[in-house]
């Protein structure tokens, strides 16, 4: 009988405050381990109560990242995929809400045989089971615990990792704790006290860190690192610094320079780990100091919240690194763009991008920008809502359908260029019914779908002649095939389809005007950029006048 592969666990916790970059630190360690030849996966365990981030406002939570299997997940999963170049799944992210829902469901079914259901053991066991499930088949699973040590809702998660450490013992788990080492300007000093307090808090729960990663805006000298090591009870070589960097993709390289893999490998008994980061290194050089540069107008709302477009801005960086080009983004608030000032906003721009979005706010301005790109032969990429609006603009101004609209903005529109279909097959093969009256709640088309590409189209060129590609969706509305013939007669053709659904459109007689119903940014990785986004940036480069 073959022995089941033992998974090693690296638990990553955070202290002092949030937004220190735990996700990037976790993804960086994962990347180094993968490059060393190990099978690595990552899990984000989020202590908040929402069942998933799907319904959370971008003001609350930044972007909702969509996995290939259609889960709406935390934006950190996006970082993991972009670093690791692996598809993750719904098993790679769970929240307190998910944990409680399944425990309550089991309780209702009588699976606990009438026992009193408690946080310890039932909730904690459920968390442990989910962690183990995500670890199955991997050499190493990195488990990032969301939030900060000391948060009330984080306690069951920390108890779960404490219990796993006891159960699995030495060589199978380590804890990496990320903290802030603030620089106090007035004193001209870096301060270690918050780190000591945070480790003290972790200890109180029964977890001693094995490695401490220190975020700081200044380099840490040896003396300071040694002080952290002795006061927090970790080995000196296990105090790693994570300074502010010009690119998040530089972090794995900075960790490697500090020889982070040696103690990890020794503590987890992983054997000698050799990594080749030369390809990564040269991409990072081209992210930081590329030869060329292009200016892309990003026309949208929520521009004060760039985090909600994280995957897209990262995808632009990936495409840029690939083309040795800096992609400079000019953020254009669509609510301020009107017919009489569109030129002012968009002159000297090499490409125009309208990204996904919900609701009617700002759509007029977006359509002005699209019209400007169409008429002036400026490369245009419309993503999801950006494709839908390109079709509405064309219907209004070229097909002369004056009241052309989306059912999202006017349910009773006489000309729903974009409409709500009644039913569709989701990516697990289940039939989903959506009704006009209740378009909300679990009725979005989510996750990866195959798209068949029209031969000799711009899209086909972008994908290097591929006949079928797989891209991810997150939307409710669809382009209405009723108008297809009219569009095609006037030069706006359908270049991507799946099961009769219109997935991509493009303009004939335009250097680059593509709209896609899916989100190409979700599949873009530093070492494997999305082809449409690369060809959009390439077209923008060629357009430099």
| Active-site annotation holds for 473 | no
Distances 110 to 100, 103, 126 between C-alpha atoms, Å: 15, 11, 16
Per CB under 6 A, 474 contacts ligand GLN? yes
Q: Which stretch binds ligand GLN (CB under 6 A): 144-152, 353-361, 494-502, 535-543?
A: 353-361
Question: Which pair of structure tokens corresponds to residue 312?
Answer: 């897209």
| Active-site annotation holds for 86 | no
Q: Residue 221 or residue 360: which is nearer to ligand GLN going by CB?
A: 360
22 known member of a binding site:
yes
Number of residues that bind ligand GLN (CB under 6 A): 10
Task: Report, in Å, the least distance between residue 356 CB and ligand GLN.
Answer: 3
Neighbouring residues of 212: CB distance < 8 A, sequence distance ≥ 6: 176, 177, 178, 179, 195, 199, 228, 229, 232, 234, 238, 239, 240
Q: Which stretch binds ligand GLN (CB under 6 A): 40-48, 246-254, 472-480, 499-507?
A: 472-480
Binding mask 477-496 for ligand GLN (x = CB under 6 A): x-------------------
Strand partners, 93: 44
d(CA 181, CA 243): 10
Task: Report, in Å, the least distance between residue 320 CB and ligand GLN.
Answer: 23
Residue 364 φ/ψ region, left for φ over 0, alpha for ψ in the -120 to 50 degree band, beta for the rest:
alpha
Distances 305 to 22, 32, 226, 248 between C-alpha atoms, Å: 20, 31, 39, 19
Q: Residue 10 or residue 446: which is nearer to ligand GLN going by CB?
A: 446
Please check whether residue 358 is in contact with residue 477, taking contact to mean a CB–CB distance below 8 angstroms: no
Per CB under 6 A, 384 contacts ligand GLN? yes
Distances 61 to 54, 162, 307 between C-alpha atoms, Å: 10, 28, 8
Task: Report, in Å, the least distance between residue 106 CB and ligand GLN.
Answer: 34
Catalytic residue among 61, 79, 122, 519: 519
Strand partners, 295: 328
Catalytic residue among 214, 232, 238, 384: 384
Q: Which stretch binds ligand GLN (CB under 6 A): 218-226, 253-261, 339-347, 354-362?
A: 354-362
Per CB under 6 A, 356 contacts ligand GLN? yes
Per CB under 6 A, 408 contacts ligand GLN? yes
Spatial CA neighbour of 440 closest among 472, 413, 408: 408
List 54, 197, 265, 358, residue binding ligand GLN (CB under 6 A): 358
Per-residue burial over 52-76, b = 16 or more CB atoms within 10 Å of its CB, e = otherwise: bbbeeebeebbbbbbbbbbbbbbbb
| Active-site annotation holds for 521 | yes
Binding annotation for CTP: 18, 151-153, 191-196, 227
Binding region for ligand GLN (CB under 6 A): 356-358, 384-385, 408, 474-477
Binding annotation for UTP: 18, 191-196, 227
């Amino acid at each position: 009988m073959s022995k089941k592969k033992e998974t090693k666990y690296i638990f990553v916790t955070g202290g002092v405050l949030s937004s220190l970059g735990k996700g990037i630190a976790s993804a960086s360690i994962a990347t180094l381990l993968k490059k060393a030849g190990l099978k690595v996966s990552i899990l984000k365990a989020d202590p908040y109560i929402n069942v998933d981030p799907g319904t959370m406002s971008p003001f609350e939570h930044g972007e909702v990242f969509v996995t290939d299997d259609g889960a709406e997940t935390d934006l950190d999963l996006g970082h993991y995929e972009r670093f690791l170049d692996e598809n993750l799944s719904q098993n790679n992210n769970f929240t307190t809400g998910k944990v409680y829902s399944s425990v309550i469901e089991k309780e209702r079914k009588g699976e606990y045989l009438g026992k009193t259901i408690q946080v310890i053991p039932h909730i904690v066991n459920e968390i442990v089971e989910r962690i183990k499930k995500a670890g199955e088949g991997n050499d190493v699973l990195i488990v990032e615990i969301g939030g900060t040590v000391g948060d009330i809702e984080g306690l069951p998660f920390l108890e779960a990792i404490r219990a796993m450490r006891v159960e699995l013992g030495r060589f199978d788990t380590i804890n990496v704790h990320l903290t802030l080492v603030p620089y106090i300007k007035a004193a001209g000093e870096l301060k270690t006290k918050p780190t000591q307090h945070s480790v003290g808090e972790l200890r109180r729960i029964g977890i001693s860190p094995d490695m401490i990663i220190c975020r700081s805006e200044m380099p840490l000298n040896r003396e300071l690192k040694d002080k952290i090591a002795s006061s927090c009870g970790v080995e000196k070589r296990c105090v790693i610094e994570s300074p502010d960097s010009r690119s998040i993709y530089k972090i794995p390289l900075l960790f490697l320079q500090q020889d982070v893999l040696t103690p990890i490998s020794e503590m987890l008994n992983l054997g000698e780990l050799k990594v080749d980061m030369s390809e990564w290194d040269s991409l990072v050089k081209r992210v930081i100091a590329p030869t060329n540069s292009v200016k892309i107008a990003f026309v949208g709302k929520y521009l004060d919240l760039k985090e909600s477009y994280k995957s897209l801005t990262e995808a632009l960086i990936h495409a840029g690194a690939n083309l040795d080009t800096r992609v400079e983004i000019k953020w254009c608030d669509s609510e301020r763009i009107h017919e009489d000032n569109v030129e002012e906003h968009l002159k000297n721009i090499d490409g125009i991008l309208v990204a996904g979005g919900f609701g009617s706010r700002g759509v007029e301005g977006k359509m002005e920008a699209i019209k400007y790109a169409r008429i002036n032969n400026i490369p245009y990429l419309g993503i999801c809502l950006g494709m839908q609006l390109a079709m509405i603009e064309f219907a209004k101004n070229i097909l002369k359908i004056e009241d052309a609209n989306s059912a999202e903005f006017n349910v009773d529109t006489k000309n729903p260029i974009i409409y709500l279909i009644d039913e569709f097959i989701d990516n697990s093969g289940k039939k989903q019914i959506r009704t006009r009256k209740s378009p909300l709640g679990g009725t979005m088309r989510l996750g990866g779908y195959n798209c068949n590409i029209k031969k000799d189209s711009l899209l086909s060129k972008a994908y290097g002649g591929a006949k079928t590609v797989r891209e991810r969706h997150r939307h409710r509305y669809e382009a209405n095939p009723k108008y297809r013939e009219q569009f095609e007669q006037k030069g706006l053709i359908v270049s991507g389809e799946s099961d009769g659904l219109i997935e991509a459109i493009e303009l004939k007689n335009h250097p680059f005007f593509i709209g896609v119903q899916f989100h190409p940014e979700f599949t873009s990785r530093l070492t494997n950029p999305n082809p449409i986004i690369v060809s959009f940036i390439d077209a923008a480069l060629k357009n430099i006048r």
